[in-house]
Amino acid sequence: MQYLSALSYSRQRLTINYKCIQYTVLSSYWGIEFDTSMAKNSKIEWTHHTFNPWWGCERVSPACKHCYAETWARRLGLDLWSKGAPRRMLSSAYWRQPLAWDREAREAGVRSRVFCASMADVFESRSDLNPVREQLWETISSTPNLDWLLLTKRPQHVSQLVPWGQQWPHNVWLGTTVETQRWADRRAPLLLEHAAVVRFVSCEPLLGPIDLTPWLNPSKNSFGINWVIVGGESGHRARPMNPVWARHLRDQCEAYDVGFHFKQWGNWSPSDGLPNGHRTRILNGGTALAVSMTNVGKKESGRKLDGYEWNGLPLDHGDLMEA
């Protein structure tokens, strides 16, 4: 049916539809959505839906080196990843999807989380994106039953681009990526300048040891981080994550009663109990004991840390804003 329906479109659309079929096979590997019908029920473990106001970005730190979104866009023949490159805009039908998700959440009496954005950074500071950003703020306002998870590598731009000042909506969570201690030191303080009801960090890909305790236990007059997501890198060029780094972050979260979510090992998993015949690396990672990691792929690596799935979430919203 997909092949037949594509015949009525242009050659470019035919190519994209053909690769969409390929993508449906790979979606569990990459964890992203291309077709608008795939934005609902995201395969990303910590969200329900994924929404992208546009496609495209620019690399800004080591976490971007093997960007899955850039890789996927290039597979589709789209050159969107540089400062001067165009950004791909989405259809009106795509923009109507959050309104439907909001109705479903209201009728079910539950809240749904929306990750924004997997194929872009909503705080990329480009004037040509301002009209689309305004549309996003309006959509967020129109969907009070959805919690919007805005994840950025550019927290320095947030205050210039959001319309809320210190009166953030109840349904906006603000997060930043911190892949190493250097980037935690830079980005975490900027994140905590904002009164979002949830402030979270994504340590994915985790590329080194990180101490988040200065921001997990803030003073009575400041905000703190109340959710930590940790994950290793996936893809054929993935960099392995030392288990010690992940355990350290888990233990920090447990000590300060902060939600901890272990998303995945990525391609590399601890070698204990794994079959031979796969590529293996020995990591020291600043620890006394060497750790053997084996590249078995994301699916085989799974998402258990020390035998458990860690699916922590932030506390109830009412508790988060208390000083």
Q: pLDDT for 109-132, tens place per residue?
A: 999 999 999 999 999 999 999 999
Greatest CA separation for the chain: 62
Q: Which pLDDT value is given to residue 219?
A: 62
In DSSP notation, 113-148 reads EEEE-SSB-TT---GGGHHHHHHHHHHHHT-TTEEE
Q: Which pLDDT value is given to residue 171?
A: 98
Per-residue pLDDT band at 322 (split at 50, 70, 90):
very low
- Domains of the chain from N-terminus onward: 46-320 (3.80.30)
pLDDT single digits (tens) 147-203: 999 999 999 999 999 999 989 999 999 999 999 999 999 999 999 999 999 999 999
Distance CA 319, CA 182 (A): 30
- Rounded to 10°, the helix 92-108/130-141 angle is 20
Strand-strand pairing, 146-152 and 172-177:
parallel
Show the CA angle centred on residue 45, arms to residues 113 and 152, nearest 5°: 65
Q: Which pLDDT value is given to residue 190?
A: 97
What the block records as the tokens of 35 is: 């077709």
- Structure letter (DSSP) for residue 244: H
Reference 55, options 40, 26, 27, 35; nearest CA is: 35
**First and final CA of the chain: distance in angstroms?**
56
Distance CA 302, CA 161 (A): 37
Task: Measure Cα distances from 259 to 20, 219, 307, 316, 320 in Å.
Answer: 35, 19, 18, 11, 12
Per-residue pLDDT band at 276 (split at 50, 70, 90):
low
